[in-house]
A and B are shown apart, each in its own frame.
Chain A
Amino acid sequence: MAHETAQTPYINDHRRFEGNGASASPAWMKHLRSAGIASFGELGLPGQDREDWRFTNIAPLAKQAFAVSPKRDYPELTGARLERYTIQKDEHRFVFVNGHFSPSLSAVNFSANVEVFNLASAEARDNADVQRHCARHADMRTNAFAALNTAFLSDGLFVQIPEGITIDTPIHVLNVSVQTDDEPARASYPRLIVTAEKHSSATVIESFISMSARASFTNAVTEIVLAANSSIDYVKIQNEHVGAFHMHTVSGEQHAESRLNMFSLAMGGAISRSEISVALEGEKADVNVNGLYMADGTQLTDHHTFIHHKVPECTSHELFKGILDGSARAVYTGKVYVDAIAQKTDSKQTNRNLMLSETASVDTQPQLEIFADDVKCTHGATVGGMNETLVFYLKSRGIGGATARGIVTIGFAAEVTEKIDHAASRSMVDALVVSQLRKKLGNEIPEIVHSGKHDEKE
């Protein structure tokens, strides 16, 4: 018998899972699952000896065992309770409960001929597009959490925007984590695949929330593939309970002249990590990866981004901002990698951190690896307190104390939330930021307003 390690419970859980109802899956899916568990077994849960996990200690996650959630009903989970997570009334809403699709809580109404499959459905089994893209993009050979997610692949969502089609109404995938008090600690493995065909465009929002305060583990994978000239706005809202563990692998692949505008809001979770990698495969592709993390107490929040410029004339812009309080820790590691042939790359990477307490800390590492010689690449990071010039301006108008600090913090956050093009998503993110700050600094904190740059998308 092999010796027990932190990954043993997951390997045992996988064996039970294959032995139970998962046998209904098609062969290709089973095949992916065995590849996933094999890779996870080799990689193991990452320790801090791994370069890309140097600042992120997942011991609190590793010392508990989280078993995959079975598909079951939670009568207390009603549409009314999920109402407040709605981004936009008429959104195409796909609700996943602990990783399982819930048709009764979802509301979908596509007028265009969009290919949408629940991965657990019979139709998905034989679909060539699903097979071609599902679990083919996120790298499970080096990423243990992507491998672990694949080991439990059975449910999830596949969306394909057909050529030339623009979906105006946003697609909202709401991932709900819920457990009753008598259940063992649960893991869920959400998977979302979005492919945009040539000249298509859509807005996709992925929310992560939890309904119970107990420790839970969400290990999600999102794969986004953009064909030539397509455009995707992707907004991630992570607002799980502070007891939650959250690992999310986001993998993007972009072809010529496509445009991907991503935003990641990280507010909840005891430990949360978003690992975002984008491969620029076609010339003149443009990617924006922006985000805001807010952490307090003993939360640990981590963003890890990797932009790979593989061809000439692509642009990538990254702005991540953090607001840290209490004894919270944040990690930002951003790598931009420019291949030798990727001439005329234009890349900018910025990380700014606002420290609201002396005991909060941040490890920030923007990195550039450039093998081409004709490029424009910049990067920078700052860690600091309040902007004193701004504080003085406010004080000179009679505004001091917590209100002044709140206004400065709002200003800091607004500079990055304004990069969300989709109006309703931006409002949701703004509202979450404001409500979080009001808890800290009082109800004087104002709503966020933006200058009218975005009017064309409202």
Chain B
Amino acid sequence: MLEIKNLHASVNGKEILKGINLTVNAGEVHAVMGPNGSGKSTLAQVLAGHPAYEVTAGEVIYDGVDLLSLQPEARAQAGIFLAFQYPVEIPGVSNSYFLKTGLNEIRKSKGLEELDAMQFLKLLKQKMQIVEMDPSFINRPVNEGYSGGEKKRNEILQMAVLEPRLAILDETDSGLDIDALQIVAEGVNKLKTPENASIVVTHYQRLLNYIVPDVVHVLVNGRIVKSGGKELALELEEKGYDFIKDEIAAAEVA
């Protein structure tokens, strides 16, 4: 489904991703862990098409298409969704309008009929129930004045409404209380079908108790230095990044 080959990316002339290789098959959940500043968010943003990051080498094939040639909105329409580590506020624009417009753009691109206000509201209410969000958020401006946890929950709501094929969650678990964590996990698990996949960026093994990953990757200094099963996350939690320090040293030198 997604094949990342030797991906290099830089921002303001500084190289951050230094040759990422990663293959995600339909039906899989991949976890990406790694120290602060190692490039996890950069990878997520590059996949979603943030214009500030320049891809200097490598390629990304998504469902047989050259993903990097697509505009961000076309990627979203093709089923890619990024839950932002830092969701932005849009004063003046209601959550429901924002989501309805996004959903309808995606539906249009697939040749599906647009939902009208009533149909959409019904859907939105359903999804809000799943992520346990108060209905007052329907008409509140997008993310404006929300608490950290509410913003994260709102990202999951968007994911639930847009029903992506490939969801990329960038530290959606940080700042969440334990209940919210379960809700987020549930959101991801509900999405899990043989056709879909997700990449979950996290610092905590905790989330992986709820979302059981098929593969865990460790990203250090712009490279994936180790990949393994779910037990790798446990090991990391226990021992820190020190126990793979040889791999880290190798990444640092290169």
Residues on A facing B (Cβ under 8 Å):
388-390, 392-401, 403-404, 407-408, 410-411, 413-415, 417-418, 444, 446-452
Contact = CB atoms under 8 A, between A and B. Distances in A.
Please name the 8 residue pairs, one residue from A and one from B, whose CB atoms are nearest each other, closest first: A414-B92, A400-B73, A397-B102, A395-B72, A398-B76, A398-B105, A446-B97, A395-B73
B93 A396 contact: no
Nearest to B77: A398
Contact of B101 (A390, A399, A447): A399
Interface of B: 48-52, 71-73, 75-77, 81-82, 84, 87-88, 90-94, 97-99, 101-103, 105-106, 109, 139-141, 144-145, 158, 162
Contacts of A397: 76, 98-99, 102, 105, 158, 162
Given A395-B76, A398-B76, A398-B109, A449 B94 contact: yes
Contacts of A415: 91-92
B178 to A, nearest CB: 27
A330 to B, nearest CB: 21
A413 B144 CA distance: 14
Given A415-B92, A451-B145, A399 B105 contact: yes
Contacts of B87: 393
B162 A449 contact: no
Most buried by A among B50, B71, B77, B90: B90
Contacts of A395: 49, 71-73, 76
Contact of A398 (B50, B106, B144): B106
A157 B109 CA distance: 57
A400 B51 contact: no
A417 B93 CA distance: 13
A407 B98 contact: yes
Contact of B162 (A398, A407, A408): A398
A218 to B, nearest CB: 30
17 contacts: A388-B52, A390-B90, A395-B76, A396-B48, A396-B72, A397-B102, A397-B162, A398-B73, A399-B105, A403-B101, A411-B91, A414-B92, A414-B93, A414-B141, A448-B92, A449-B92, A449-B94
A448 B158 CA distance: 20
B90 A407 contact: yes
Main SS class of interface, B: mixed
B101 A451 contact: no
Given A395-B49, A397-B102, A449-B139, 16 more contacts: A389-B88, A393-B84, A393-B88, A394-B98, A395-B72, A398-B106, A398-B109, A399-B73, A403-B105, A407-B93, A410-B93, A411-B91, A414-B93, A417-B92, A418-B92, A447-B94
A352 B94 CA distance: 23
Contacts of A407: 90, 93, 98, 101
Given A392-B72, A398-B102, A450 B92 contact: yes
A41 to B, nearest CB: 47
Nearest to A430: B92
Contacts of B92: 410-411, 413-415, 417-418, 448-450
B155 to A, nearest CB: 10
A415 B162 CA distance: 28
A292 B233 CA distance: 52
B107 to A, nearest CB: 9
A28 B158 CA distance: 67
Nearest to A433: B92
Contacts of A390: 88, 90
B154 to A, nearest CB: 12
Nearest to B143: A393
Contacts of B102: 394, 397-399
A83 to B, nearest CB: 27
